[in-house]
A and B are shown apart, each in its own frame.
Chain A
Amino acid sequence: MAMAIEGDQKAFEVLYERHRGGIMNYVRGMMFDQNKVEEITQEVFLKAYRQKDSYDQRHKFTTWIYSIARNHSIDVMRKKGESLYEDFKTDEDSTFDIKDEALHSEEAVLAKAENARVREALDSLPEGQREVLSLRALSELSYAEIANVTGKSESSVKSLIFRAKQGLLEKLKEGEEE
């Protein structure tokens, strides 16, 4: 990123290639309007380059670019009235660790489900849960990185992801039974 700040476009291209997919998946997880996903993803990177001088090199680039993506997505949703912002609030009271779920059955449920149904189940989750699960599973961020991007504690992030997983699996099981 230091080279990109100096105006090295090649360096920025490397960052773009590395994070494009993850940012797009994150934005996709945030948006109801899927037609806007690509446009917003592009805007995130344009915004990052526009604001490159404000990047604090003591922090990780991943945290910075995902924060831009988060803020921009929320701005867009706010303008369109899409978001229920209560879901983005930190839920510190309900923290608990992910430990011994019946993990062996999860893979089976996911594997059976069709892609569209998984996508649908993911979209049906509350936004706060959907956001952190997307960041973890689709963008492959660590819990610490997710905590930095969302402004939540790590334990809160884990709690939200746990609930998101439970919610997702329930939706998929419901679909199986129907």
Chain B
Amino acid sequence: MSVLAAVQPSFRAIAATVVPEAGTLDAGGWMELERIVEQALAPRPRRLQRQLVTLIRAIEWLPLLRYGRRFTRLDPRRRARVLEVLQNSPLLLLRRGFWGLRTLALMGYYARPAAAASIGYRADPRGWAARR
């Protein structure tokens, strides 16, 4: 069962703020990113999955108080500001929550072979022989 389906637009907006290049992914790229994240979440406890969805929903709606708009309606600069507040929160619970969400976004983006290749990562089981 999909964890992200209920919050997909918000998750994509957060992921594209964490990794700006994610914003340029086509439909297939997003599907691959979300499949990786869903696979990582699948074996985790339901309680943790619910907490993640709650955090994403909170990130979507909390900016209403400050900016009068939901997260997905904010420009990139303000989206980054919202996430920075979470990252630097005095509350460990919020910092941990954002750290987990950030980790998932980075995993979804950088664990894709296309992303690894795009940054010049070339490790190969053949080792030195592959470079000569």
A binds B: no
**Interface residues, chain A, with chain B CB atoms under 8 Å away:** none
